[in-house]
Amino acid sequence: MDKQELRKKYKKLRLELTEKDHQFFSRGIENNLLPLMANFNVVHTFLPIAKLKEFDTFKLIENPKLNHIQWFTSIVNELGGLEHVDVWPKMEYVLDSWSIPIPLTKKEADLPKVELVLVPLLCIDKNGNRIGYGKGYYDGFLSTLSPTTQFCGISFFDPIEESINTEAHDIPLHMCVTPNQIINFKN
């Protein structure tokens, strides 16, 4: 399948998850992420698009076991570029035109050395190549970070068997957390 077909298929599969399955899978992801994240102090995360049934990263930001973490996210600014901002527990948000939560109080982040980036995706292959929503924001952002920064996808589904066709701008992930496992890729 090409990228568009995979994007359409996995977006549909995620939207078809029952609320019970979504909660069950989310608990599995959270349980796998917590011990992994104990090793990181500076984390960049996506904020969940609830209507697309993304993993709720607010559960991590607000988890007392992770209160040692300095959290950041990126938002699309008026010019179409990314702006990096701090996030913290109990923050207030508004939804943008894509239904992405945007901090009501934006404090521009002076991005220190980000150690881990949590990356949204629809599906991933066994080499760490992902399919996102197709806008390219994350590939552009990931390409600006230190070579020591770890990129971790979060997926409700195990990696697909077939290889995802990549382009020069595509950045593979180092690992992926699913409800069942943490997968480390060799890249």
Q: Please report where in the chains the tokens 């959290």 appear, as a residue.
A: 71
Tens-digit pLDDT profile for residues 112-153: 689 999 999 999 999 999 999 887 788 888 998 999 999 999
The binding site comprises 3-7, 47, 54, 130-138
Q: Is residue 168 part of a domain?
A: no
| pLDDT computed for residue 64 by the predictor | 94
The whole domain housing 91 covers 3-112+121-162
Q: Which of 109, 118, 184, 124 is nearest to 151 (CA)?
A: 118
Q: Is residue 131 part of a domain?
A: yes
Q: Find the CATH number of the domain harbouring 39.
A: 3.40.50.10420
Q: Is residue 64 part of a domain?
A: yes
Q: Name, in order, each residue with C-beta under 8 angstroms of 116's C-beta and a sequence gap of 6 or more.
A: 37, 40, 42, 43, 44, 149, 150, 151, 152
Measured at the alpha carbon of residue 77, what is the angle toward residues 74 and 80, in degrees to the nearest 5?
105
The binding site for substrate comprises 47, 54
Q: Is residue 171 part of a domain?
A: no
Tens-digit pLDDT profile for residues 3-40: 899 999 999 999 999 999 999 999 999 999 999 999 99
Q: Is residue 94 part of a domain?
A: yes
Task: Look over the chain and give the mean of its residue pLDDT values, rounded to a whole number.
Answer: 92
Check residue 105 and report its DSSP letter. Answer: S
pLDDT band at residue 187, thresholds of 50, 70 and 90? low
Structure tokens at 62: 């607000």
CB distance 60 to 29 below 8 Å: no
**Rounded distance, CA 84 to CA 72, Å?**
7
Domain count, the chain: 1
Kindly report the number of other CB atoms within 10 A of residue 68's CB atom: 9
The binding site for ATP comprises 3-7, 130-138
| Res 73 pLDDT > 90 | yes
Q: Is residue 176 part of a domain?
A: no
**Rounded distance, CA 161 to CA 169, Å?**
22
